[in-house]
Amino acid sequence: MRLFLKTLCLLLVAGLAHGQKVDRNANLFSRQLKPANFSKGSEKDLGRARGEIIKLIEQLERNNRTAKQSPDSLLSKAFEFKEDQIGPNQAMVTSTALLRNWKSASSMGLFSENGKFQDQVVSGRGTGKKVVFEYIVPPSVAPEYAKYIGNVRLVSPERARAKDAEPDQRDLAYLRSLQNVKREAEGRAKLKEMETSKAAMPKKDLNHLGMTKKEEEARYLNEVEAAGAAALDRAPSIRVQGRLGARPSHMSKERYRVDFEIRNLSNHPTEIEITYWVLGFTDKENKIYIMEQKTEKAKLRAGQVNNLEIWTRPVNSFRKKAKALDNKKSDKVIYKGYIAIAKFKGKEVVGIAASDARLMAYATGERPGLATFPKF
């Protein structure tokens, strides 16, 4: 039994280490992914797109060899890191195009022993000839997609479109996918503009239900009066949920944001105290630290739901301390997850949430250390 448990622990640790490595690789790869540029272009833009594609598929190949992570998995995780900048349609079309080009390069033997791209076909049809990068939908048909890497494919010389040939029906059908990506990007840009305009308007001190603090307090007191003062002595049932709402970007001012939902499942009003932690971990030694910690009291009516956003400081403010904690090996700031603990009368835990099983073990006290995490 002991041997089984020891083996299980080793497997769990190995799996955790692999998962962290995968996330780091995806985070690094995501920095090379850019929102599509739909300003009108021409055939002259093909060279720039070619260079960008080569850089990306080289990274896919290296990761496939060294990290044992499939390119589709790497792309999926990388686009998760860019979800505040790149919409799901663009992520899907770009991923599909990059995977197609990586597979074409692999089948033609275009990657050297160290994973570098070479443009001469080594295996298959066209051996010894240079491969061709070409637009799927040429700029003569739709110049607004001339700068988008999702509109470029890698083919053997024999399969390349003739210089003056018109695109076939299959290629023209691909135009609909490109148009969907463009519409999505334009819609997201308009939404961002609306949010910016809204943020610039004078702010009223209202909760998510549109009530002032005074109105919310009055409604709570009315419910307490109706339920009787003894209701406040009964421990409530609280559900706490969280999710990562924003990653460091220009839009988020280089900060992380975690969104929490606190719901009173009880049939009586209550007052609780909730502490939130937003955690990071070091790049090399995987040491956990606190990026943000906040404690607040909440008065909740029966069934009431409160929503709260917890923001960290800009990630650059953590780099110096992260490097020191990592024994000067790396200053990378990596999001680990969150913990939230709701207590009744300051002692009894009535609600708890964590972003993964390991952090839940810290939250419940099964794994000691939460109180000793360094706070940056």
Which of 2-16, 20-34, 239-253, 278-292 bottoms out in mean pLDDT, i.e. has the lowest? Answer: 2-16
Q: pLDDT digit string (tens) for 91-123?
A: 999 999 999 999 999 999 999 999 999 999 998
Q: Which residue has the higher pLDDT, 155 or 205?
A: 155
- pLDDT level of residue 9 (50, 70, 90 thresholds): very low
- The dotted CATH code for 213-372 is 2.60.40.10
CA count, 13 A, side-chain hemisphere, 143: 7
| Predicted local confidence at residue 208, as pLDDT | 60
pLDDT tens per residue, range 137-152: 999 999 999 999 999 9
**Could you state, in order of their start, the residue ranges of all structural domains in the chain?**
15-193, 213-372
What confidence score (pLDDT) does residue 240 get? 96
243-289: pLDDT as tens digits: 999 999 988 999 999 999 999 999 999 999 999 999 999 999 999 99
Check pLDDT > 90 for residue 293. Answer: yes
Tens-place pLDDT, residues 156-179:
999 999 988 889 999 999 999 999
- Across the range 15-44, mean pLDDT stands at 80
* Mean pLDDT estimate for the chain: 89
pLDDT score of 191: 86
Give the integer Cα–Cα distance in Å for 310 and 294.
Answer: 8
pTM: 0.52
